[in-house]
Amino acid sequence: MFSRVCFLVALAAFLIAFTSRAADRAAAPVTVVLGAQTREIAPLVSELKDKKEHKILGLTFWEGQLGGRCVVISRTASGKINAAVSAALAIDHFHPSEVLVTGAAGSLNLELKPCDVVIAAKTVQHDSVRHHSSGIERRGARNPITGQRNPVFLEAPAKLLDMAKRAAAKTDFIPMSGDDAKSSPSAVRVVTGIVATGDAFVESGEKRKELRSALQADAVEMEGAAVAQVCHQSGVSCLVIRCVSDTADETAMSDFETYAPAASANAARLVYGIIRELAEAGRATSR
């Protein structure tokens, strides 16, 4: 009888402790990281501790601890629709505090060279337009929840921008190398600017000039603003981090193949730094 009572007491203590730990895990803030290509997320996935793999509608999400924070990482594949689907699934299943987008991009700003980094203060879908005989009318996508149109430019939260800037100052980036580096500074330049998103790989000098003139955008890619739209409609913070892999002109594809590995690594390094900043802010709040 005594042993049975002891067993029940021990079992009750175990269940209470287990429930408490489960509640702590459930309450822990989560950061979602999305990248279109495997090489854009691989450096982060490889660093995950206590890694678990989830399959949701066939898509893979890796969950674990990174830099002292609970993080979920997924590869979206290229394009706005793919990115929006991944973002919506991640938000619905993991309830993140913020979503970070990482990866390479083409430069629209002539001052930015391969391996330079753009922190997106704003994102815009450059192909969300109406074509009139007199020109183009830019407009945000309609929010299916409210029926209202989203802003043309979606702004990143000041808190995440500040964290990204602090993290950038501490990050060891990979500089541009090779013969092309002789005509440009070896140090990686980090700017806060505008990232334009569209369902097209831009490799046209004319299109580059058009996007730069019309939007004052610094970089162009295929996922960021779509993720930002889903986050905006879901009330979740979002920040897009891009590293230049090409100059969005006629040599863009060959330049992309050359510089995408370093660009992907640089963006991932900054994202890792932001995650550390988030973890530190969380610890400071709990003290």
Which CATH number goes with the domain that contains 182? 3.40.50.1580
The number of domains in the chain is 1
Catalytic site residue from 63, 116, 223, 246: 246
Q: Please check whether residue 34 lies inside any domain of the structure.
A: no
Catalytic site residue from 40, 63, 223, 277: 40
Q: Please check whether residue 107 lies inside any domain of the structure.
A: yes
Residue 154: enclosing H or E segment and its boundaries?
strand 153-155
276's tokens = 């550390």
119-146 average pLDDT score = 91
**Could you confirm whether 40 is annotated as catalytic?**
yes
Does residue 19 surpass a pLDDT of 60?
no
Residue 140's domain spans which residues? Answer: 102-286
**Could you confirm whether 246 is annotated as catalytic?**
yes
Tokens 């097209």 -> residue: 200
Torsion angle (degrees, nearest 10) of CA 244, 115, 271, 153? -30
* Per-residue b or e along 28-53, where b marks 16 or more CB atoms closer than 10 Å to that residue's CB: eebbbbbbbbebbbbbbbebbeeeee
Of all residues in the chain, the percent with pLDDT exceeding 70 is 87
Tokens 């495997």 -> residue: 38
Give the separation between CA 252 and CA 269, rounded to whole angstroms.
23
Q: Please check whether residue 165 lies inside any domain of the structure.
A: yes
Give the separation between CA 213 and CA 199, rounded to whole angstroms.
19
Q: What is the pLDDT of residues 115-131, one digit of tens each?
A: 999 999 999 999 998 88
